[in-house]
Structure 1
Amino acid sequence: MFGAFKASFVAQGGLLWKNPFRMSTTRKANVRKRLRDVDQVIATVAESGVRCKALDEALALPKECEMSPRDKYTVFSRTAAGHRKSLHKVPKFTKKTVRTSPPGF
């Protein structure tokens, strides 16, 4: 490529995804709020009298207030060091209900 938009080592290098190392306090607060909202929806559906397998599984999950911070902000990962990965490193973590991990992790 020639001209003003010529490819260079600087333009081609660098991080592709700018994920911060730690979760910010704002992002943690949003995770807690999202978990509470899901708990409220599950409780509302349970009060309506509907019964199904998915609802029974959702009722068996721990609520946000019962979860430890480790389970709120990290998930189990076989490939990560220590077998835990920060939640914001998981693709589409806002759309997943990740509340349980294998025993011992």
Structure 2
Amino acid sequence: MFGAFRVSTPALGGLLWKNPWRLSATRKSRARERLRNVDELIATVAATSTSSTASPHSTILQRALALPTERQMSARDKYTTFSMRSKGYRKSVHKVPKWTRLTLRENPRGF
């Protein structure tokens, strides 16, 4: 009822996680900045790696070099990712857990 132990909206089954349904302009710019930082890091590692022998690290580097850069990605790929359970098979990238630490640049062909 009233007082210290009154019922709140989350307790009644309402909105618990306040996650906006669309990315704000600042979150978009920071996402683009993170993509550019990763591109710069990959380019730096590729420039400094002088060994041409096959090693586990070289295969990881080759796979990283095969990823599209931020400038090559479409806006659709920058801000959304494939989701089998979402309507239209795409969902906003900020709805993915730990999306700032994952590489979400690869999507199935056609999506």
Give me the whole-angstrom Cα distance separating, in 1, the residues matched to 2:41 and 2:10.
Answer: 47
Which segments of 5 or more consecutive residues in structure 2 lack a partner in the other structure?
Answer: 51-56
In structure 2, the partner of 1:75 is 81
In structure 2, the partner of 1:101 is 107
Give me the whole-angstrom Cα distance separating, in 2, the residues matched to 1:6 and 1:76.
Answer: 43
In structure 2, the partner of 1:20 is 20
* Residue 85 of structure 2 is aligned to residue 86 of structure 1: no
Give me the whole-angstrom Cα distance separating, in 2, the residues matched to 1:33 and 1:62.
Answer: 15
**Structure 1 residues 60 and 27: CA distance shift in structure 2, 3 A:** same
Identity %: 52
Query: Alignment partner of 2:81: what SS?
Result: strand
Query: Alignment partner of 2:94: what SS?
Result: helix
Aligned length: 104
Q: TM-score, normalised on structure 1?
A: 0.90
In structure 2, the partner of 1:30 is 30
* RMSD between aligned residues: 1.8
Q: TM-score, normalised on structure 2?
A: 0.86
1:25-79 CA distance string (max 9 Å, x none): 0000000000000000000000002551111100000000000000000000000
Q: Which runs of 4+ in 1 moved over 4 A?
A: none
